[in-house]
Amino acid sequence: VKTMCLILLFFCAAFCSATHDAAADGFYIINLSEHDQALFSGIRNTFYRIALLVGQGLLLFLVFSIVKHWNISSQWSILFAISGGLLAVLAFHHFLALPRSGTDFPQEKSVKNSNSMVLTFFESFRAFFRKKHVVPALLFLLFYRFAEAQLGKITNLFMLAKHEEGGLALTAAQYGMIYGTIGMLALLAGGILIMEVTFNHT
């Protein structure tokens, strides 16, 4: 039961993350000019990479390398508690700091409005799947980074597997530092290098 509840919780988190991207794009379009949209989109992507560095690298390394000296066995619980606390603080800050557009105002709650919102929500899905060439587009989105996604999962297993199984036998702290921090910095450096080479040859 606990495993199923945890899987459901992660599913809800993934769904919220995906819908947040769509909402953020809409927020940018409504409130920002085309120039500012490009500017803040770059800033958002930069902070997304920073969040990966903190979550997959720095935070994981700190929790599993420092907390273990306190004889605390629930490192994962502490890691998720810290992550959840950071998200709650950021959500509260965004609630207060983000600007609101002229069309963003609370509406009166009623059964009719609730039904209309539900119908609009599902109608957006229906409208999407009625688009021309939607099946090839979905297949492209699914398989474009399919090999990279598979490699990422196998890499994790290889780094954490024992020596007798052919792995590197890294601890969680070592994995966080090597893969989550050094690896992410190398990825950022490679992306910047590719951009420089591309712009210099165009």
pLDDT in tens, the chain (202 residues): 788 888 898 888 888 888 887 777 777 777 777 778 777 777 777 788 788 778 777 887 777 777 666 666 677 788 888 888 988 998 899 888 877 766 666 556 555 566 676 777 778 778 888 888 888 988 998 888 888 788 877 888 888 888 888 888 888 778 777 877 787 778 778 777 776 676 666 5
Q: Is the pTM above the cut of 0.85?
A: no
C-alpha distance from residue 95 to each of 28, 69, 107 (Å) = 16, 37, 18
Q: Residue 98: which of 34, 42, 31 has the closest Cα?
A: 31
- Please give the Cα distance from 34 to 54 (Å, whole number): 30
3-state DSSP helix/strand/coil % of the chain, to nearest 5: 80, 0, 20
CA geometry: angle 41, 176, 80, nearest 5 deg: 75
Instruction: Answer left, alpha or beta for residue 51, where phi above 0 means left and psi between -120 and 50 means alpha.
Output: alpha
pLDDT reported for residue 184: 75
Amino acid found at 113: N
Structure token digits, residue 130: 């009625």
Q: Residue 53: which of 199, 182, 195 has the closest Cα?
A: 182
- Please give the Cα distance from 97 to 186 (Å, whole number): 33
- Please give the Cα distance from 73 to 66 (Å, whole number): 12
